[in-house]
Structure 1
């Protein structure tokens, strides 16, 4: 199989490309990335010389360029990860999120349709569902109720993907994942930001009262879920991906500082994010039952592995732990 991965130089995309090339020795991967601030080809150094890997510099907002890439590569499937994804940036510049996440996705869908791409897997987010109360979880039947410009742009792109299945009969599939963590993540996100600032002796910012809850999933487990959806899901399907691993931000930050032996006095409360969703939680039972997927990473081990990677990147500080799943 030959895959086109959009946004493959980013955090999740680079992990997914390495995952696929390692697992399937007869697969080829084309990485199409615009190399924005969050894209880094150094994430792919270990496979950059592989004959089964090709990098194409292209922006999904450019319909002509996207069409050219789809025509020239003749791929069997598209794994669409390219997106503007940081909520704070969407609050500051919502138009950029419409251009990339909505119009860019539609450009890609149209080119994939015209060039007969077999399968289109769209990687979305649990944020399209909005905010939960103190109990319950998002299922695939939960109504879309996005509360940030980022979430609204992803919900819009989800609906375009759905429309290409319903209108044109394209084999589209949508995944909605909880918060990812792991090595190589861009340091504007909570876990790498906390680690990098902590090891440098800088203040560690914490939004509001710190009681916002997120469900954390290791990026490897996200990749294995995408793999399962690509190979085994039905056209038109939607799958939630999560690990039943809820943490409020305050407890998570304190846990990270504890592993690093950094005092909690470095935590500095900051003004809360506008429209900050209170809680996300994913019910991934459909994915587990239909496709036999399950996460393999233990959060304690995965978090320590991630802390060690970022600590080494920032200061060379070592965090000893025994890795396990």
Structure 2
């Protein structure tokens, strides 16, 4: 049995990681704040031990990683704000709650003698894109946001611990994540799909690179105790989709009478996902997106 200590298990991605790992011979230790809601994890609780506490407390971290073989670090303290808003509000608090806490977690993991540390980073680490350089995992990191800078900083510390042979590390850089959120209204494109289902006219713009949440959970599952993934970084990206396409997909599925206006937007760069495919990740593709929109329509 593999003992896995996981931060961020009560979040959107955490739910799908719990669901995926439940099928394995594992025991999960989850660090949760006192105010965290764990009801949506009820069907997986047989394999989860919840440890109440905060990442800012060193003693909590020691207790959390004690006896663990693997640590998966997904937590991001943002106090209800968006990912980027949280990184810009109170920089001192942001650094203490996220960057310093992550470094303390790495240190606690080393002291506990864990064998693998998996960090969920972000493609926000790239920031400035150099058009003449392939946008793969070796592309230079020049973050253009505090959020990207935080993720890149933790990546650097992961490399340091790996190179010093403290433990194996694996880093994932996902793009925008979509999927049915246990808190349904937080699901990607929820408001657009809701309006279209109810026949409301919508105006849309923008778009982005996306990956299904279950594909990220699949990737995490694939690297646990996988020596081939030791010291590796993986971009997790399926395809680019503009919001206009999502709106029309929703309209076609539910035969809505909504009028859709706005402008399509095309991607500027393409992020290479070859390494993740070599790992064994099988992306949901456009069919997966369609199935998601169908399920979202059904639940709204």
> Into which bin does the TM-score normalised by the smaller protein fall?
0.7 to 0.9
Residue 89 (structure 1) aligned to one of 75, 85, 90: 85
CA distance in 1, matches of 2:7, 2:64: 11
Secondary structure in 1 aligned to 2:210?
A: strand
**Correspondence 1:1-325 to 2 at 5 A:** 1-22=2-23, 24=24, 26-34=25-33, 40-48=37-45, 50=46, 52-71=47-66, 74-84=67-77, 86-90=82-86, 93=89, 95=91, 96-130=93-127, 132=129, 138-167=135-164, 169-184=166-181, 187-188=185-186, 190-196=188-194, 198-199=196-197, 206=204, 210-212=205-207, 214-232=208-226, 233-243=228-238, 245-262=239-256, 265=259, 279=268, 281-289=270-278, 291=279, 293-300=280-287, 302-314=288-300
For structure 1, the 5+ residue unaligned runs are 270-277, 315-325
Closer/same/farther in 2, CA of residues 193 and 280 from structure 1, 3 Å limit: farther
Secondary structure in 2 aligned to 1:173?
A: strand
What's the TM-score once normalised by structure 2's chain length?
0.82
Aligned-pair Cα RMSD in Å: 3.1
What's the TM-score once normalised by structure 1's chain length?
0.76
Deviation at 1:268, TM superposition (A): 8.0
- How many residues in Structure 1 have an aligned counterpart in Structure 2? 290
Deviation at 1:153, TM superposition (A): 1.6
For structure 2, the 5+ residue unaligned runs are none
Contact kept, 8 Å, 1:136 with 1:281, in 2: the verdict is no
Closer/same/farther in 2, CA of residues 311 and 3 from structure 1, 3 Å limit: same
Deviation at 1:70, TM superposition (A): 2.0
Secondary structure in 2 aligned to 1:231?
A: coil
Indicate the residue corresponding to 1:321 in structure 2.
none
Closer/same/farther in 2, CA of residues 235 and 199 from structure 1, 3 Å limit: same
Contact kept, 8 Å, 2:40 with 2:182, in 1: the verdict is no
